[in-house]
Chain A
């Protein structure tokens, strides 16, 4: 596959995603919408009772926004977009027509992940920009994040969203079903992972959880999640496994299934 073909196939994948109004609407809500609502709410609280509620901006609230965009609402948005990218061709029946063009199945699979990541990051970038504006605009007397922290936080959000989008593409391509993929991934990331992280008797076994590894490399003060700590090298290895294995399984399924 030439670079031109790869570029036009990724553009076609992005077209499919961005023309899906429901998907775009929910993704906007889970990223930009959440940031606007939270900072807006905090600003109104502060304005209504300055003595009781601190300013809506500043480093503390920036910290919350970054975590929300990385492993909470941003994660849901990435799963939503990645699932759509992974399942759209299969569920619509167009996968068969794409295979009939003679283009290799691996090519058809591997353009899904960059498209999903690019679309997710476009929303995250806007949401992060809004969060940054609010952080400084509503900071009042509170300290504000440094340029280094801003850049590192942006990188961390991009890392979180990219891994989650790729994971959803892989699982979506494996199951071929939007419903199954969304239920499994949101159930795992939002419910099961938090449950497992709180079970201290699991000890080091929790290091293998994606959220534990992601929060281990977060650039914010306070670092990882609760009592789950691991070496950065282990966290990087865990993240690599979560990024690569689902994609490999999705690629295998795309390669071997009847179209």
Chain B
């Protein structure tokens, strides 16, 4: 595959071993610019290891990586100057205030980073608590301070590892909004998670990693699309409806459900002709709903379960 700057992250054949265990096995990931990209996997699937490789926190055994078209680790310093990251959970010096913790990180960034501290604190809603010691912060506040720390880099890419962990529903909603705003500003957000529902609601595209291998990637729509589309049809005479569709070319299978029937289509454009056949046959159709598989269902279908042989 050709490397293009349309993708902000590209890895090819990326491999990392810890002794005999292969944590990341020949991973190819392409993350488009300007989107929220989910990186899905069970605990221990290799999500954090891939993030640590991208950030140069550990060295790869094989393969190549590029961020914003530049090779890692060769141009790591220049690349990471515009990347903000939270790996696992955000860590801070508990005895320092939120503002002081940002000063510590800003000092290691470019000279302008210090001037971004107040804006970053305001952005994540921590201005009022910025003078308090971080050891008094809740988990949600620490997550937000972690994002503020990322913003000091004026990042084009944010890498967030399990950012929703430990957040209450209100916090998750706020975080989702914040990610949408960041993407709206043209930044790319790469977030790893095992919270499938959150990734589906937050991200435009995703990759699924299982036991160190990427087994699927694409837009959320592509990932959840079934091989055969299904329709749920609410109608007054389900038995008659099944008889009428028995010989219909566009129907691969049909079965009775509570208030109607469920139809598996043999082609994706058969809904209109099925509706016409039912109405002409004297069935009153009051609902016709495409069945959309959730990301969770799709994820569980394609990934191995704990205890499954590899």
Using CB atoms and an 8 Å cutoff, list the residues of chain A in contact with chain B: 2, 4-5, 8-9, 11-12, 15-16, 19-21, 88, 92-94, 96-104, 107-108, 258-259
Contacts and interface: CB of A to CB of B under 8 A. Distances in A.
Given A15-B96, A100-B55, A100-B83, 11 more contacts: A2-B111, A8-B114, A16-B96, A21-B95, A94-B92, A94-B93, A97-B85, A100-B57, A103-B77, A103-B109, A258-B58
A88 B81 CA distance: 23
B56 A20 contact: no
Given A101-B109, A102-B80, A92 B93 contact: yes
B108 A101 contact: yes
Nearest to B111: A4
Interface in B58-95: 58, 76-81, 83, 85-87, 90-95
B147 interface: no
Contacts of B96: 15-16, 19
B107 interface: yes
A80 B108 CA distance: 24
Given A8-B107, A15-B96, A99 B56 contact: yes
B91 to A, nearest CB: 3
B303 to A, nearest CB: 27
B153 interface: yes
A12 B107 contact: yes
A104 B77 CA distance: 7
Contacts of B55: 99-100
A20 B95 contact: yes
A253 to B, nearest CB: 15
Given A21-B95, A100-B87, A102-B78, A94 B100 contact: no
Interface of B: 52, 55-58, 76-81, 83, 85-87, 90-96, 100-101, 103-111, 114, 149, 153
B108 A98 contact: yes
Nearest to B109: A101
Contacts of A108: 108
B104 A94 contact: yes
A57 B149 CA distance: 53
17 contacts: A2-B111, A12-B103, A92-B93, A94-B105, A96-B91, A97-B85, A97-B87, A97-B105, A98-B104, A98-B105, A101-B80, A101-B109, A102-B78, A103-B109, A108-B108, A258-B57, A258-B58
A98 B104 CA distance: 9
A92 B96 CA distance: 11
B93 A100 contact: no
B81 A102 contact: yes
Contact of B58 (A21, A104, A259): A259
A11 B107 contact: yes
A31 B100 CA distance: 27
Contacts of B153: 101
Contact of B104 (A12, A99, A104): A12
A92 B78 contact: no
Nearest to A94: B91
A97 B91 contact: yes
B58 A103 contact: no
Contact of A8 (B76, B90, B111): B111
A102 B79 contact: yes
Nearest to A4: B111
Contacts of A99: 55-57
The 3 closest A-B pairs by CB, nearest first: A102-B80, A93-B91, A12-B107
A94 B80 CA distance: 16
Contacts of B92: 92, 94
Contacts of A258: 52, 57-58
Nearest to A6: B107
Given A11-B107, A94-B91, A102 B83 contact: yes
Contacts of B56: 99-100, 102
Contacts of B58: 258-259
Nearest to A23: B95
Contacts of A102: 56, 76-81, 83
B108 A12 contact: yes
A93 B57 CA distance: 12
Most B-side CB within 10 Å, residue of A4, A19, A97, A108: A97
B58 to A, nearest CB: 5
B151 to A, nearest CB: 13
A159 B87 CA distance: 40
A216 to B, nearest CB: 39
Contacts of B101: 94
Contacts of A101: 80-81, 105, 108-109, 153
A96 B146 CA distance: 13
A98 B87 CA distance: 11
Nearest to A108: B108
